[in-house]
């Protein structure tokens, strides 16, 4: 299997995934992807990884909201399923769990967001744009990306 990795992915921040893929014989080809961080040639699913709940909170409730929403809209227009894979060590396994999230930096931006509002916004993005939110630990991320791209 060959995974396409977006060229905007920062080098050195995804070593756990790369090591896993190397172990299981998966090759990585870097290219500019229209949406997400990972895809396969001819596939209709794209995976966008987030390092934690705080990052998705910044995407949805912070200064990156417009860019994130446009990416979700583009995925829908392209007929792609965009899966947001939120890596976390906090035990979050689904959007409902996010309701309990407490923003560690509530005054960082004018549009700071707390758990209940973040979970509601995630559900809205799913309903409007077909985005799926999934959760795993950083150590599971490489395997989960492969499973999602393989349709499992």
Distance CA 64, CA 66 (A): 6
Cα dist from 147 to 80, 127, 131, 151, 152, whole Å: 16, 23, 17, 6, 5
Nearest to 51 by CA among 84, 80, 26, 7: 84
Q: How many CB atoms lie within 10 A of CB 72?
A: 22
pLDDT of res. 4: 96
Q: Given strand 45-50, what is the order of strands in its sheet?
A: 27-31, 2-6, 38-39, 45-50, 81-87, 132-136
Using a cut of 0.85, tell me whether the model's pTM lies above it.
Answer: yes
> Would you write out the chain's pLDDT as a tens digit for each of its 152 residues?
999 999 998 877 888 999 999 999 999 999 999 999 999 999 999 999 999 999 999 899 877 889 999 999 999 999 999 999 999 999 999 999 999 999 887 776 546 789 999 999 999 999 999 999 999 999 999 999 999 998 76
């Amino acid at each position: 299997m060959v995974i396409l990795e977006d060229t905007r992915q920062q080098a050195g921040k995804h070593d756990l995934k790369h090591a896993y893929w190397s172990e299981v014989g998966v090759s990585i080809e870097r290219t500019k992807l229209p949406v997400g961080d990972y895809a396969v040639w001819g596939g209709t699913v794209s995976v966008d990884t987030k390092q934690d709940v705080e990052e998705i909170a910044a995407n949805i409730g912070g200064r990156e909201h417009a860019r994130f929403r446009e990416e979700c809209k583009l995925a829908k227009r392209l007929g792609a399923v965009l899966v947001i894979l939120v890596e976390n060590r906090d035990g979050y396994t689904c959007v409902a769990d996010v309701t309990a999230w407490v923003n560690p930096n509530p005054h960082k931006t004018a549009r700071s967001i707390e758990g209940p509002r973040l979970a509601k916004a995630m559900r809205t993005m799913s309903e409007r744009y077909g985005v799926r939110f999934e959760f795993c630990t950083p150590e599971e991320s490489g395997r989960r990306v492969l499973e999602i791209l393989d349709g499992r």
